[in-house]
Amino acid sequence: MQERSGPIFLVIAFGAMLGFIAFLLVGPRDAGGEPLAGPDATATTGAGDGQGTNPSTPGSTQAGGNTTSTTGPGGLVREPNTIPGWTVGRPWGSTVGLTMFRGNPTRTYYGTGPISDSPSLLWTYPATTMCSESVNLGESAVWCGMGWTGQPAIWERPDGVTEMIFGAYDRNIHFVDAKTGEDLRPPFVTGDIVKGSVTVDPDGFPLLYTGSRDNKLRIIALDRAEPTELWSIHAEDVDGTWNDDWDGNPLIIDDIMYEGGENGWFFAYELNRGYDASGIVTVEPRRLVAMPGYDAEFRSRAGDNLSIENSVAAYDDRVYFANSGGRIVGLDISNVREGEAPIVFDYWAGGDIDASLVIDEEGMIYASVNVKPAQVSQGYRTSENISRTREVGQLIKLDPYTDGDPRLWGVDLTSPGGEDSGTWATPALHQGYLYTNTHQGSLIVVDTATGEIVWQDGTVGWHSWSSPSIVDNTLVVATCVGEIRGYTLDNPAAPQRQWTITPGESCLEATPAIWNGTIYLGSRDGYLRAFR
Ligand SMILES: [Ca+2]
Ligand SMILES: [Ca+2]
Ligand SMILES: [Ca+2]
What confidence tens digit (pLDDT) does each residue in 152-190 have?
Answer: 999 999 999 999 999 999 999 999 999 999 999 999 999
What pLDDT is attached to residue 123?
A: 98
H or E stretch including 9? helix 6-26
Helix (H, G, I), strand (E, B) or coil at 249: coil
- Residue 265 amino acid letter: W
What pLDDT is attached to residue 20?
A: 40
pLDDT surpasses 90 at 64: no
- Name the closest ligand to CA 351: 3
Strands 172-177 and 162-167 turn out to be antiparallel
- Name the average pLDDT for the chain: 89
Ligand 3 centroid to residue 306 C-alpha, Å: 8
Instruction: Calculate mean pLDDT across residues 486-498.
Output: 98
* Residue 65 · residue 203 · CB < 8 Å: yes
Each residue of 313-371: pLDDT tens digit? Answer: 999 999 999 999 999 999 999 999 999 999 999 999 999 999 999 999 999 999 999 99
Torsion angles phi and psi, residue 33, rounded to 5? 85, -150
Ligand 3 centroid to residue 106 C-alpha, Å: 20
pLDDT band at 67 (very low <50, low <70, confident <90, very high): low
- Name the closest ligand to CA 368: 3
What pLDDT is attached to residue 2?
A: 37
Ligand 1 centroid to residue 285 C-alpha, Å: 23
Instruction: Calculate mean pLDDT across residues 464-470.
Output: 98
Ligand 3 centroid to residue 246 C-alpha, Å: 12
H or E stretch including 232? strand 228-234
Ligand 3 centroid to residue 391 C-alpha, Å: 19
Give the integer Cα–Cα distance in Å for 328 and 325: 9
- Name the closest ligand to CA 355: 3
- Name the closest ligand to CA 422: 3
pLDDT surpasses 90 at 469: yes
Give the integer Cα–Cα distance in Å for 320 and 424: 17
Q: For residue 8, what are the contacts with CB-CB under 8 A and spacing of at least 6?
A: none
Ligand 1 centroid to residue 427 C-alpha, Å: 27
**Which pTM does this prediction carry?**
0.88
Domain map of the chain by residue range?
A: 6-531
* Residue 8 · residue 404 · CB < 8 Å: no
pLDDT surpasses 80 at 249: yes
Q: Which of 45-49, 298-302, 390-394, 504-508 has the lowest mean pLDDT?
A: 45-49
Ligand 2 centroid to residue 440 C-alpha, Å: 20
Q: For residue 493, what are the contacts with CB-CB under 8 A and spacing of at least 6?
A: 433, 445, 447, 454, 455
What percent of the chain clears pLDDT 90, i.e. is strictly above it? Answer: 83
* Cβ atoms < 10 Å from Cβ of 181: 17
pLDDT band at 31 (very low <50, low <70, confident <90, very high): very low
What pLDDT is attached to residue 4?
A: 37
Ligand 2 centroid to residue 500 C-alpha, Å: 30
What pLDDT is attached to residue 367?
A: 99
Strands, E assignment, 130-171:
131-136, 139-144, 153-156, 162-167
The winner for highest mean pLDDT among 13-22, 45-54, 134-143, 462-471 is 462-471
- Name the closest ligand to CA 171: 1
Q: In angstroms, how far is CA 465 from the centroid of its own chain? A: 14
HEC per residue, 416-479:
CCCCCEECCCCCEEECCEEEEECCCCCEEEEECCCCCEEEEECCCCCCCCCCCEEECCEEEEEC
Cα→Cα distances 519→96, 157, 172, 346, Å: 17, 19, 21, 37
253 CB-contact burial (10 Å; exposed 0-12 / middle 13-18 / buried 19+):
buried
The CATH architecture of the domain made up of 6-531 is 7 Propeller (2.130)
* Cβ atoms < 10 Å from Cβ of 363: 18
- Residue 527 amino acid letter: Y
What percent of the chain clears pLDDT 70, i.e. is strictly above it? Answer: 87
Each residue of 405-461: pLDDT tens digit? Answer: 999 999 999 988 889 999 999 999 999 999 999 999 999 999 999 999 999 999 999
Q: Which of 9-18, 29-38, 478-487, 517-526 has the lowest mean pLDDT?
A: 29-38
What pLDDT is attached to residue 74?
A: 84
